[in-house]
Amino acid sequence: MTTPPLIDPFARAITYLRVSVTDRCDFRCVYCMAENMTFLPKKELLTLEELDRMCSTFVGMGVEKLRITGGEPLVRRDIMTFFRSMSRHLDSGALKELTLTTNGSQLARFARDLYEAGVRRVNVSLDTLDADKFAKVTRWGRLGQVLKGIDAALDAGLKVKINAVALKGFNEEELPAITEWCADKGMDLTWIEVMPMGDLGNEDRVGQYWSLEDVRKTYAQHYALTDLAERTGGPARYVRLEETGQKIGFITPLSHNFCESCNRVRLTCTGELYMCLGQDDMADLRAPLRDYPNDNRALQEAIRAAIGLKPKGHDFDYSRRRADGQVARHMSHTGG
Ligand code: SAM
Ligand code: SF4
């Protein structure tokens, strides 16, 4: 590390950075995006070189885990150049983990390259194993392509975790089938509680809010559950299914009982740093990055100042939800 570690005002060490490398995507999941999205002009986005400088600066300040997300990270042109470049921080030992969250559509193409760049685990988002339902929820996605991508990832030696958004009346009955499919392939599975964004509940109603408490109850009808104490500094809780040995996670993005251990911040593809998923406060890091192309000190100062503003916890009722109950920011903006 080249500078003192990043410690926020509540003595939490910031060691985990999630980076959205694009706002674009080849899918249009109903809970995430509108069908006719207007994406950002290219000049707004950090270039791959800028992303490298930004991430490397964070690594120099003690970030040990980088999760690359989007939009769909694997549709960003030349993104493998970025992954390969980040692998130098794995080699040096400064970075402990380089990972990504993907919809899986491009994994058949990139799984081997990702492994070679030092990636060992990927999260793949998949809500249903029914091809028609998959097409409905993703609008533009094709299930077969994603399944091939998942197999390619496993073949390449990547550990795969499936993330499924819990949607009542949509993938509710599929819970045992998805769970067993994951068990057969040696994949862990995490259920995510849906946040009221995108078009969900509007013209593309494919499912409704399904509380993770109820998902858990459904599991208890099929399996013997053991609660795991394990926490990752994020909003996930885990149980072990005794029958399959699988770890099942539950992510409730809106709950704030994990804030005490929060170790993460989120960077958007335009260089905005969000200190808390539940608050709208952000810091512009693109200006100090671009204004001083050969000197990282202003960027480091801006990062440190931003971390100094990281709030104690969520404040959804006042700053996150709009009057109509919607969350102002889309997940594709901050990368979920
Ligand atoms: N495109 C990649 C993917 O789908 O995995 C990465 C970006 S995506 C925004 C990250 C995660 O956010 C996905 O697992 C997706 O299911 C989840 N997500 C998107 N919109 C959501 C919402 N409204 N509520 C809960 N999860 C959401
Ligand atoms: Fe794309 Fe991921 Fe959003 Fe689906 S959830 S539209 S795959 S960014």
Task: List the domains of the chain with CATH numbers.
Answer: 16-334 (3.20.20.70)
* Whole-number pLDDT of residue 318: 36
**Hey, which of 19, 22, 29, 122 would you mutate to test ligand 1's pocket, going by the most ligand atoms within 8 Å of its Cβ?**
29
- Output the CA 90–ligand 2 centroid distance in Å: 28
pLDDT tens digits, one per residue of 244-289: 999 999 998 766 567 778 888 999 999 999 988 777 789 999 999 9
* Whole-number pLDDT of residue 325: 41
**Is the pLDDT at 323 greater than 70, yes or no?**
no
- Cα(203)–Cα(205) distance, rounded to whole angstroms? 6
Q: Please identify, by atom number, the ligand 1 atom nearest to the C-alpha of residue 72.
A: 1
Task: Please indicate whether residue 235, judged by its CB atom, sits closer than 6 Å to ligand 1.
Answer: no
- Cα(122)–Cα(129) distance, rounded to whole angstroms? 19
* Closest ligand to Cα 27: 2
Paired residues of 162 in beta bridges: 124, 189
Nearest residue by C-alpha to atom 4 in ligand 2 = 29
pLDDT tens digits, one per residue of 211-233: 999 999 999 999 999 999 877 66
**Is the pLDDT at 322 greater than 50, yes or no?**
no
The distance in angstroms from the start CA to the end CA of the chain is 28
The pLDDT of 43-67, averaged and rounded, is 97
The pLDDT of 188-208, averaged and rounded, is 73
CB 278 within 8 A of CB 318: no
CB 22 within 8 A of CB 72: yes
* Closest ligand to Cα 166: 1
* Whole-number pLDDT of residue 313: 77
**Is the pLDDT at 61 greater than 50, yes or no?**
yes
**Is the pLDDT at 70 greater than 60, yes or no?**
yes
The model carries a pTM of 0.93
pLDDT tens digits, one per residue of 115-171: 999 999 999 999 999 999 999 999 999 999 999 999 999 999 999 999 999 999 999
**Is the pLDDT at 205 greater than 90, yes or no?**
no
CB 84 within 8 A of CB 48: no
- Output the CA 114–ligand 2 centroid distance in Å: 20
